Amino acid sequence: MDTYRIGDVTVQMECSGETLTKQAKPYRTEPLSPGDLPDINIDINSENLKSRKEKYPHLTLNEWEYVQTGFAFYRDILDYDGFGLHSSAVALENRAVLFSGSCGTGKSTHAGLWQQYFGKDKAVIVNDDKPVLRLVKGIFYAYGTPWSGKSTLNANIRVPLGAIVFLQQAKENHIRRLDSKEAIRMLVYQSLHPNNDLDKMNKLLTLIDALLQKTTVYQMDCNISLEAVKLAFDTINHERTEQR
């Protein structure tokens, strides 16, 4: 098995398919010393992959490996104060802004507009589908991972979390800060977690509670335009300045 550094934890897994091999390459690191154990060991049984393929024939074994290893990582990262959030994460001025929401709301499109507005050299896509948010020494960071959905857009970097914005399509642009009750509901709904593991679920809820003590969460009704980018950026920057 090969060794990777993902989300500042050591992961061992064997990549067989083309997609996972390519996506994981930037995260590969030196093998562990004899006797050392990885933080996370991902061992996807080939027979399990084949049975999944038979149950869901529209996916290839390559695709199933990519999906199943991702599930395993996001499940186990909860043991290291981290969780995955369905979102597109953009790093700008050493702060990560995450755009989340239901399928089809334009998360990736909006992240791309940030790159168009600020330039790709300044606005970097951390992960276009499933970044990890991890609490490290009192600070939440957004991390890139190899698992970025259908997109190949991810970077092996970590950036302090600045804000989370839930998108909703609308004709006019409007943004508001969510209260804790609203934010918790949306964060839980869009997070990646095992459905039948009470211990993992409790860890997720504890992390979300800690995140809300440090991070502002918004809902933005928007028409996916450069004007929406400016509204989001100005609002987040204004509130961050006021909090200092």
Contact predicate 9/77, CB 8 Å: yes
**Alpha-carbon distance 29 to 49, whole Å?**
26
**What percentage of the chain reaches a pLDDT higher than 90?**
77
Domains held by the chain: number? 2
Q: Residue 179: its pLDDT value, please?
A: 95
Strands (E), 36-136: 40-42, 82-85, 87-92, 95-100, 124-127, 132-136
Task: Examine the domain organization and report whether 104 and 67 are in the same domain.
Answer: no
Residue 161 near residue 142 (C-beta atoms within 8 A): yes
From 53, 79, 105, give the residue that closes a domain: 79
Q: Are 130 and 94 in a shared domain?
A: yes
Banded model confidence at residue 242, pLDDT cuts 50, 70, 90: low
Q: Last residue of a domain, which of 79, 96, 120?
A: 79
| Residue 53: pLDDT band with limits 50, 70, 90 | low
Residues 90-119: pLDDT tens digits?
Answer: 999 999 999 998 877 788 999 999 999 999
What does the alpha-carbon distance between residue 40 and residue 42 come to, in Å, rounded to a whole number? Answer: 6
- Whether the per-residue pLDDT at 151 is higher than 80: the answer is yes
Last residue of a domain, one of 79, 104, 130: 79
pLDDT at residue 244 tops 60? no
More confident residue, 70 or 47: 70
Q: Do 104 and 25 fall into the same domain?
A: no
Q: How confident is the model over 211-240, as a mean pLDDT?
A: 91
Q: Is the pLDDT reported for residue 243 higher than 80?
A: no
3-class SS shares of the chain: helix, strand, coil, % to 5: 40, 30, 30
What average pLDDT score do residues 212-241 get?
90
Residue 169: count other Cβ atoms within 10 Å of its Cβ: 13
Whether residues 119 and 36 fall in one domain: no
Residues 75, 99 within the same domain:
no
Same domain as 167, residue 68: no
Q: Indicate whether 89 and 152 sit together in one domain.
A: yes
Domain that holds residue 17: 2-79
Looking at residue 23, its pLDDT comes to 97
Percent of the chain at pLDDT exceeding 70: 93
Task: Calculate the average pLDDT of the chain.
Answer: 92
Please, are residues 12 and 3 in contact by the beta-carbon 8 Å criterion? yes
- Same domain? For 14 and 124 the reply is no
Q: Are residues 12 and 115 in the same domain?
A: no
For the full predicted model, state whether its pTM sits above 0.85: yes
Same domain, 46 and 106: no
